[in-house]
Amino acid sequence: MGDISCDNGISAHVNGVNGKAHSAEGHRKSCWYEEEIEENLRWCFALNSILHTGATQFQDIQLLDTKPFGKALVIDGKLQSAEIDEFIYHESLVHPALLHHPNPKTIFIMGGGEGSTAREILRHETVEKVVMCDIDEEVVDFCKSYLVVNKEAFGDPRLELVINDARAELESREESFDVIIGDLADPIEGGPCYQLYTKSFYESTVKPRLSHGGIFVTQAGPAGVFSHTEVFSCIYNTLRHVFKYVVPFSAHIPSYADTWGWVMASDSPFTHSAEDLDLRMKQRMKGENKYLDGKTFSSASTLSKAVRKSLDSETHVYTEGTARFIYGHGTAFKHKHA
Ligand code: SPD
C-alpha cells in the first residue's frame, strides 16, 4: 500500500500486495512516497529522507521526512500523522468532547501511541488523570524518542501509559471515565483494531466504563463526499444504536488527501453553542488552539447535504461479522496470505 522510490534506484515496498514501485524521472532529484488510497487512486509526495522503516509484532511502521508535510508517521502503509497538520486531527479528536463535558477529570485513550492525543488532553486544566492504552509498545517507544513535540506530554505525571489491548484494559478496570477517546488506526482488514469499532464493543465495553454524563469520541475514517461510505457512515450509525446523542463531524486534513471524520456520542445531550465552547476554552485550557474554536466546530459538525443524506439513511451496523474496512491490509492479513 505504500512505496518509496528514489532516483538513485532505491525502492522500498512499504506494505501490502498492490503497491507498485514508482520510478522517479531523471529531472526529479528526490525520493518519493506513494500510498494507494484506493485501487485506482494514489497519493504521492517527495521525501527528504527515510528516518526509519521496520515492523513490530502488530504493524509495519515508517517515519519519513517529507518535503510537503514534515515528519510523517506511516503505519501499515497508511499515513497516520504528519508534522505540519496533525494539529487539525488531534484538536478535532480531543477538544469538542472535553469541552462539551461539564468537568472532564478522567480520560481513557484507546490507541494514541504517538502521544499527540495525550498532549492535547493534558492542556485541559480540569484533567487529573489520563490513561493511554496502546497495544504496540514498539510504536510508543519509537514515537517517544522521535516525536519531540510530545516529550512534555509523555513526562506529565497525570499520564498513565499502559501497553495492552484497549478492550482487555477497559474490561479489567473498575473505575469509570468522563471521556473515552478512540485514537485508533483505521479499520483495515488484518489490522489490529477493527474490532474496536463494533456495536458489541461500544455497548458492552465502552459505555459501561463511562461515568454519568460521559462522552465517547472516536476517529471514524475518511469523510469526504465520496469516501464517507467506506466506514464513517456505518461507525456513525453503529453509535446511533448505542447512545442517545451522536454528533458526526469532519475536517479537511491536507496530508491525508481527504476530509476526515470523527463521531462523538453520549447519553447526555450536546447543548453548547460556539460561544460556550470558546468561553470554556479560555477558562480551562492552557495555550491557544491553532485550528479549532467554537465556530470551527459548528462548521465541522454541519456536514454537506450529500454526506448528511447518506448518514441519515445508513442502516449498516458494524459487527465483527459485518465489518467494513478502508482500502488496505494489515500485518495479520499479509501473514495469512503470504
Ligand atoms: N492516530 C490514528 C489516526 C488514524 C488516522 N488514519 C489516517 C490515515 C490517512 N491516510
Residues 191-237 have pLDDT tens digits of 778 899 999 999 999 999 999 999 999 999 999 999 999 999 999 99
What separation in Å is there between the alpha carbon of 73 and the centre of ligand 1?
9
Instruction: Find out whether 330 and 192 touch, Cβ atoms under 8 Å.
Output: yes
Nearest to 99 by CA among 220, 260, 266, 278: 278
Nearest to 216 by CA among 173, 252, 193, 248: 248
pLDDT digits (tens, 9 = 90+) for 132-155: 999 999 999 989 998 999 999 999
Q: What are 230's three cell numbers?
A: 467506506
Out of 76, 78, 139, 327, give the residue to mutate to test ligand 1, the one with the largest number of ligand atoms within 8 Å of its CB.
78
The protein residue with its alpha carbon nearest to ligand 1, atom 5, reads: 80
What pLDDT is stored for residue 12 in this prediction? 55
Q: Is 60 a catalytic residue?
A: no
What separation in Å is there between the alpha carbon of 163 and the centre of ligand 1?
20
Cα 18 from Cα 112, distance rounded (Å): 28
Tell me the HSE value of 332 on the side-chain side, using a 13 A CA sphere: 9
Range name among 4-8, 30-34, 312-316 with the lowest pLDDT average:
4-8
What pLDDT is stored for residue 112 in this prediction? 97
**What percentage of the chain exceeds 90 in pLDDT?**
82
- pLDDT, the chain, mean: 91
CB atoms under 10 Å from CB of 283, counted, come to 10
Out of 59, 89, 227, give the residue to mutate to test ligand 1, the one with the largest number of ligand atoms within 8 Å of its CB.
89
Task: Write phi, then psi, for 205 (nearest 5 degrees).
Answer: -115, -50
What separation in Å is there between the alpha carbon of 80 and the centre of ligand 1?
4
What separation in Å is there between the alpha carbon of 5 and the centre of ligand 1?
22
Which ligand 1 atom sits nearest the alpha carbon of residue 43?
Answer: 10
**Packing angle of the helix pair 274-284, 86-100 (nearest 10 deg):** 100
Which ligand 1 atom sits nearest the alpha carbon of residue 113?
Answer: 1
Out of 86, 88, 140, 256, give the residue to mutate to test ligand 1, the one with the largest number of ligand atoms within 8 Å of its CB.
256
Question: Could you say which of 85, 136, 178, 183 is catalytic?
Answer: 183
Average pLDDT over residues 115-119: 98
The protein residue with its alpha carbon nearest to ligand 1, atom 7, reads: 80
What pLDDT is stored for residue 90 in this prediction? 98
What separation in Å is there between the alpha carbon of 79 and the centre of ligand 1?
6
Cα 254 off chain centre by: 15
For residue 330, what pLDDT band results from cuts at 50, 70 and 90? Answer: low
Cα 270 from Cα 213, distance rounded (Å): 10
What pLDDT is stored for residue 156 in this prediction? 98
What pLDDT is stored for residue 36 in this prediction? 92
Outline where the chain has alpha helix (H).
86-100, 116-121, 137-146, 151-155, 166-172, 199-201, 232-240, 274-284, 294-300, 305-313, 331-336
